[in-house]
Structure 1
């Protein structure tokens, strides 16, 4: 069994699983027979589950990953960045001048529901396959985890979404009668899938090296802790995160710089990650971020440029260890790459002259051709430091400030930062939230964090963006950054159009509303 990487897995039965529901309804019988034939062997059952993993990051860069990258651009951590190529479909989202029908929302939605459909097919069909009992239970548990993962991504972006829990629902005309379930119903379904999956998943240490990347018990527990956190179920989130921390399965990388180091896929801190490889025989088997995030002066596209506001957050903590492994700055050496002593951040074509170091590929590790979809490495959806900070936050809100401080200290110790162990109240809360920003910067968590974190019931994003937001005021009234204040091809007041009554969710793709004959309703303001 090869590692779960983004190689091309040809699954014949999926040829009839189209994004177009009308096409599916045209040929239900033939599709049913194809599945009967396909799920006739244990090997095919595993191949089919492997095919679900392809949807975790999308089967091409623009299906899922670029929307995640645009989400980062819609925060105080990133500019859209690329000022050479006007792209209103990208900058419109990042600057909150949102077009509801953007292809990025459409593709994100469709890709996730195709993943859900593949999971549903697996859950419907694998019980009838002649296969070893333990392996069958594991494959079913993997499918449940992945289905929960897709629904969690959807509910965080769009709010309540239609729940499709069986492939048979798609084969029936009633699919067009589906309505949006409530946020609470979606979360309850996610919790159920994860709770059921945990018992039948192996520990990371129980997998052979060749199978690293498959879903583990620790991944399911970590995602469940995160789901609890998003619902403000503080006692449950604290307890579940602690189970992962105490499991002995994971540890913090001793050197923060090694987290995204090429060759360190599925390292000691990684809980759920997708590994990328270089194989010119196939397309889209490698990573994309080194190119899409990369500087236009370094064979990249220049999207998603770190802000000076983010850099200042590191500097205010004296956090040079994480800063040098997070942000590359024009004219400076690239930390960890002896081949680049003066980085070309192309500030005349890039809003901030800065580039994401986490997804940067050192010159010596670059394949030829150095092209999107062929870059080795990994993307970690969940890692231990993230879970430790779940624990700190949940413990704080659960009234256990001692545990919150201890977890905060664990993360800061790695990067040689002192922790004020007398912190309490709002100061402790803010320190935990700031630590999440610094530790997880540019890893596609920021938008979700500032949407869900609340002060007196108001999402933090409303105090950061909008006409009176701290990020907007910094850029328009305070900043003297030599790159950002001179390249005004991306407006300095990015984020000023944010409206808390609209933009804490993205719009439902209008095509989905039309296909449902209006039974699926649009989010307010769109």
Structure 2
């Protein structure tokens, strides 16, 4: 792990704490090897604010977390394929990876780096003499960010048989230990999010300069999601209702509007990667046609399948907003083109995701990075938005034997479709797929938690012309419901970490 990737954007003793062992493993990096050597940090309100700023730096300013790295796990689903030859990424897609792949190790490591930063804030900020409301806001952010990072690690690596590793707050010198079950991870996350919600203000109470920081309904929203993943449907419904009944959020009238720069902080916003053309998430560029038809250095990594396209009902307005298919017109660098431009595309499937194309529509590239090797944009990439909260409520209600029509139909009607009556889990699964396609909601994890992954992945994936573009895959739920823990960190733990079964 390179030193510059660990310490970028931080100051003073934070640099010392986070970079103590920068050439060792991730979990060794986040294990303090002693007390900080500096005596001039964790003293002032400015120190606390600098530490709070550090909570977001790796989330937004690293392609290996919310840029493209973490997205390789989502790419494992039936919604998309690896668009460019890459053995490591193809191994992830085919569930034959080892955990040593950089595309697995990098996001794994960054999650623990961010959690370490959050724990440092939680341990040190309470003793600082500063305005109490400002202190509460900083602590609330730390609990929230830790919980989000922890939830993603728990979902990827934790099972009922073996939980995901976690650094002890009571004994930070101890090597991060695996909890007994992922249920224990979820319980820890739930407690953190409740603490965060008690400390954080509502989004509309934030100063303009604080937009993009944690807020109260974001904590409730992630509580709803955590309880859903823990299969506690009563509390999933309860906290989805906390968001809904707060009156702070609403669906935009136009689905395509969700993915426009002007609506980065609209009523549908709950939590996103705060981005701009100078850095942050490169996902829009990662999804753009490889080499961008000669106008920009798109990466062409994630290409939608015919299976996804065929899932949309006739008249569903989300299809055009989500997918570019042959003959569709779109704006690109200030001009109107027909997809694919010039009749040529290097898309393996013959499709491209359209959700993140708005930044590339402007003449002069005014909303995209001038450095095509780091193709960030001014569009905030959604991580959890209000439509998903409605679908979480609907799923929780259906799983309790209740009627989930009201929440689910808000999403359908916005898409121009007739409402459902007596919606089933099949209806809910369909709605999640088409509403959240190509987003961080993680279709692969949905299939895993529903028990649908094995049957789904036993079928090949197709391109627009009907040809097979990805062969059927062998998915063993006993092993593949979770991902392999990086062996290098198992080795450095001297046996304290155990590999997930079968890997």
Both proteins in one fold, TM over 0.5: yes
Counterpart-to-counterpart distance in 2, 1:142 and 1:293: 30
Partner of 1:332: 328
1:3-48 Cα shifts (integer Å, max 9, x gaps)? xxxx96332323231453667779624xx232x4221210120121
Matched-pair contact (CA < 8 Å) for 2:275–2:281 = yes
Helix, strand or coil at the partner of 1:259: helix
- 1:370-381 alignment runs, 5 A limit: 371=372, 372-381=374-383
1:60-114 Cα shifts (integer Å, max 9, x gaps)? 20245323321232111001122xxx21011111122223211122111211111
Partner of 2:429: 433
Deviation at 1:432, TM superposition (A): 1.1
Are 1:11 and 2:11 matched, yes or no? yes
2:339 to 340, 343, 352: 343
Helix, strand or coil at the partner of 2:59: coil
Matched-pair contact (CA < 8 Å) for 2:350–2:464 = no
Compared with structure 1, are the counterparts of its residues 259 and 64 closer, same or farther at alpha carbon in structure 2 (3 Å cutoff)? closer
- 1:459-470 alignment runs, 5 A limit: 459-466=451-458
Counterpart-to-counterpart distance in 2, 1:498 and 1:11: 45
- 1:175-214 alignment runs, 5 A limit: 175=175, 178-214=177-213
1:220-268 Cα shifts (integer Å, max 9, x gaps)? 0000010000111111111110111111101111111111112321111
Relative to the length of structure 1, the TM-score reads 0.85
Partner of 2:370: 369
- 1:21-170 alignment runs, 5 A limit: 28-29=34-35, 32-34=36-38, 36-57=39-60, 59-82=61-84, 86-159=85-158, 160-166=163-169, 169-170=171-172
Are 1:287 and 2:281 matched, yes or no? yes
Deviation at 1:514, TM superposition (A): 0.6
Helix, strand or coil at the partner of 2:314: coil
| RMSD of aligned Cα (Å) | 2.4
Gaps of 5+ in 1: 1-6, 280-284, 454-458
Deviation at 1:147, TM superposition (A): 0.8
Counterpart-to-counterpart distance in 2, 1:460 and 1:111: 29
Compared with structure 1, are the counterparts of its residues 22 and 304 closer, same or farther at alpha carbon in structure 2 (3 Å cutoff)? closer
Compared with structure 1, are the counterparts of its residues 27 and 447 closer, same or farther at alpha carbon in structure 2 (3 Å cutoff)? closer
Relative to the length of structure 2, the TM-score reads 0.89
Compared with structure 1, are the counterparts of its residues 480 and 448 closer, same or farther at alpha carbon in structure 2 (3 Å cutoff)? closer
Compared with structure 1, are the counterparts of its residues 357 and 297 closer, same or farther at alpha carbon in structure 2 (3 Å cutoff)? same
Deviation at 1:331, TM superposition (A): 4.6
Are 1:356 and 2:348 matched, yes or no? no
Helix, strand or coil at the partner of 1:525: coil
Compared with structure 1, are the counterparts of its residues 114 and 362 closer, same or farther at alpha carbon in structure 2 (3 Å cutoff)? same
Are 1:417 and 2:413 matched, yes or no? no
Deviation at 1:344, TM superposition (A): 3.0
> RCO higher in 1 or 2 (8 Å CA, sep ≥ 6)?
1
